[in-house]
């Protein structure tokens, strides 16, 4: 490949250098300095639906308690301390819209635990296993979920298949809920990196 226009190539290189510096700053004594935020390069909105086992809904439940603190049981979320210590495993359907009965495009699988005594707050580790005509692959998430906050960000820590090497954040909001049994979460996934 011959280079026809050297100055144009140099120009491109120079622009490239400027762009690169955003993510390649070395320690300069100005910790916490803000750099311009890159635009997410991929955006995806999905819903998932969690139906917690409560002793009566074994057939329909998509999640169940598997751990709880001393004195609590595994049938119902603990009544005291805002469910502190409750640990649930889930396999929830993922849909493109907020309708529980829409055809699922995948499953949200993993666990959550309640980790605060004085408010409702949880920690999530789970994976979106997507299998539709549009995308096949997985996205794995981890992070703190302060449930009562309208929008809360958790981290996208990895991906496979169509989402190979995905990184970014997922903004979660509680789209609907019914008592302690049904939760519908809206997840706005912003990927800043992927292959």
Q: Which two tokens stand for residue 95?
A: 């849909």
- Whole-number minimum distance, CB 57 to a copy of itself, in Å? 12
Contact 171, 187 (CB under 8 A): yes
* Nearer Cβ to a copy of itself (95/145): 145
- Whole-number minimum distance, CB 105 to a copy of itself, in Å? 13
125 by DSSP, 3-state: which?
strand
Closest residue by Cα to residue 168 from 39, 16, 49, 46? 39
* Nearer Cβ to a copy of itself (39/101): 39
* Nearer Cβ to a copy of itself (137/175): 137
Closest residue by Cα to residue 157 from 145, 146, 170, 147? 170
- Whole-number minimum distance, CB 95 to a copy of itself, in Å? 18
- Whole-number minimum distance, CB 117 to a copy of itself, in Å? 7
Residue 179: other Cβ atoms inside 10 A:
9
* Nearer Cβ to a copy of itself (17/148): 17
């Amino acid at each position: 490949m011959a280079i026809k226009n050297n100055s144009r190539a140099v120009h491109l290189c120079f622009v490239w250098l400027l762009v690169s510096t955003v993510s390649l700053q070395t320690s300069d004594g100005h910790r916490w300095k803000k750099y311009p935020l890159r635009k997410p390069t991929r955006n995806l909105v999905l819903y998932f639906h969690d139906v917690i086992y409560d002793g009566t809904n074994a057939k329909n439940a998509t999640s169940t308690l598997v751990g709880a603190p001393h004195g609590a049981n595994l049938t119902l979320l603990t009544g005291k301390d805002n469910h502190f210590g409750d640990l649930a495993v889930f396999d929830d359907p993922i849909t493109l819209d907020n309708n529980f009965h829409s055809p699922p495009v995948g499953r949200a699988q993993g666990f959550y635990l309640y980790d605060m005594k004085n408010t409702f707050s949880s920690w999530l580790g789970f994976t979106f296993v997507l299998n539709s005509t549009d995308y096949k692959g997985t996205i794995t998430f981890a992070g703190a979920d302060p449930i009562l906050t309208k929008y809360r960000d958790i981290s996208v820590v990895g991906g496979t298949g169509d989402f190979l090497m995905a990184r970014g954040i997922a903004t979660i909001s509680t789209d609907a809920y019914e008592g302690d049994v049904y939760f519908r979460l809206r997840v706005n996934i912003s990927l800043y990196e992927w292959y």
